[in-house]
Amino acid sequence: MSRQLFGTDGIRGVAGEYPLDARTVFAFGRALAEWAKSHAAEPRVLIGMDTRESGPALAAQVIAGLASDGVQCTVAGVVPTPGVAWLTRNGPYAAGLVISASHNPFQDNGLKLFAHSGYKVPDAEEVELERRIFALAADSTPTIGHISTQPAEAEAYVDFLRSICTQSLSGLKIVVDAGNGAASAYAPRILRSLGAEVVELYCSPNGRNINLNCGALHSERIQDAVVAHSASLAVAFDGDADRVIFAARSGRKVDGDHVLLICGRDAKNRGKLPGDIVVATVMSNLGLEIALKNHGIRLVRTAVGDKYVLEEMIRIGASIGGEQSGHVIFHEQATTGDGMLTMLRLVEIMARLQTSLDELAAELHVLPQTLVNVRFGQKRPLEGLDSVQAAIRDCQAEFGDAGRVVVRFSGTEPLARVMVEGTTLDRVGHHAETIAKAIQQELRA
């Protein structure tokens, strides 16, 4: 049975509309209660959310479903997604639920589940949860539960984050763009407690301004702000704070690839990089692979998605992995990407080495890269499209080891994505367009 409700990152949609309508969410709570009972003798569920105005209503519907089957829950209020994962793993919880739609606009929301292990619930168990949700929704009259928020619950997670940085941040001026999301009440406070001077941007959520022209998807905000405020660096989170992007003092954007290089290199130099391996996806720039190789570090690539990065990290015992987009996983300390943990690992290195982010990131020479999205009609295997494969071979022949081409279908939209890297931007663009046109001709929309 294929999954109909759960996507790659939980159940997501427009709040109030299917599958986030009252009946389905109430049935989700009932199904979650059954699941929790099958995993713990006295199950309890932790609930956290981002700053969307629909969060409390969805939480109340889930709570009602849980309570109807005798399962209690603790509502921690606004907590970053990785905070819920950490608290679930380190607390008396059979499951942790995050009510968030990450980087999406405020109208959207979602339900993301973590097991007591701190890892996302496996696909096979999501399929079984779906089966129960459909069955229960057909026989449910939704009710509204009572929310009693216990924000102090998150303080253990805050203490954990503070312990990551063992250096004083005195003398660092840091711009924080929280995207009006879950990091708003946490990141500035933690940095100040470590001695940093903080300039707050977009840290005033009102329920509707989450991710609105700010945060990790709009790095131009921090690139401008870090220069305007003469700051040491700037940091931008997405709505649920599981990803993060930086800007150095010069205004240079520092993304997930830079972070993987900086942290991987530092760990290798201190003898703390198991296997001398860093894990990234096929979208990470070839420049990262070259820079890591200069330090005797091997880059292992996976399919796009932090889920696949984590799976490979666990399989080979790697401690550092992530995505160019800013999802970075430090597996010895976390079970998921954590934007604030990443921030603290980075500033700890800056403070310990007494150097700037510009200097730390300088070794990564990003090769010109172009990404073209092609809308298609009928999907067919790319391997069987002769003209597309010929265009790919021409690209590979020209660039050799100094370039890459990745062609894949989107997992969420009727799009083929063409990514080309090479020595010069004009040739990269030429090959990307040639491959895209071949796809358009073969798979006419």
Confidence of residue 393 (pLDDT cuts 50, 70, 90): very high
All domains of the chain in start order, with CATH? 6-153 (3.40.120.10), 155-253 (3.40.120.10), 254-338 (3.40.120.10), 369-442 (3.30.310.50)
At CA 414, angle to CA 407 and CA 104, rounded to 5?
A: 100
The mean pLDDT of 372-399, rounded to a whole number, is 93
Characterise 327 by phi-psi region: left (phi > 0), alpha (psi -120 to 50), beta (else). beta
Distance CA 146, CA 57 (A): 10
As a whole number, the mean pLDDT across the chain is 95
Are the CB atoms for 28 and 133 separated by under 8 Å?
yes
* Catalytic machinery residues: 102
Angle at 80 between CA 215 and CA 233, to 5 degrees: 40
pLDDT of the residue at 1: 47
Higher pLDDT, 378 or 297: 297
pLDDT at position 141: 82
Contact 213, 190 (CB under 8 A): no
Lowest mean pLDDT among 47-51, 343-347, 421-425: 421-425
What's the CA gap between 101 and 111, in Å, rounded? 8
User: H or E element: which one contains 164?
Assistant: helix 155-164
Token readout for 149 is 């928020």
Q: Which of 264, 277, 5 is nearest to 125 (CA)?
A: 5
Do 113 and 32 contact (CB within 8 A), yes or no?
yes
CA distance 306 to 349: 24
For the cut 80, the answer to whether the pLDDT of residue 140 exceeds it is no
Mean pLDDT along residues 52-79:
96
Cα angle vertex 120, ends 64, 88, to 5°? 65
| CA separation for the pair 87, 96 (Å, rounded) | 8
Residue 107 scores a pLDDT above 90: yes
Q: Let me know if 315 is exposed, middle or buried by CB neighbors in 10 A (0-12, 13-18, 19+).
A: exposed
**Helices marked H in 213-304:** 220-228, 256-269, 286-293
Q: What is the mean pLDDT of residues 104-114?
A: 97
HEC states along 341-406? HHHHHHHHHHHHHCCCHHHHHCCCCCCCEEEEEEECCCCCCHHHCHHHHHHHHHHHHHHHHHCEEE
- Tell me the pLDDT tens digit for each residue of 339-369: 999 999 999 999 999 999 999 999 999 999 8
C-beta separation of 301 from 206 below 8 A: no
* 71: its two tokens: 């399962």
pLDDT of 307 higher than 70? yes
Cis peptide before 105 (omega within 30 of 0): no
Q: What is the pLDDT of residues 227-281, one digit of tens each?
A: 999 999 999 999 999 999 999 999 999 999 999 999 999 999 999 999 999 999 9
So what's the pLDDT on residue 3?
Answer: 75
Contact, 235 vs 255, CB < 8 A?
Answer: no
pLDDT tens, residue by residue, 164-214: 999 999 999 999 999 999 999 999 999 999 999 999 999 999 999 999 999
Q: What is the pTM of this model?
A: 0.92
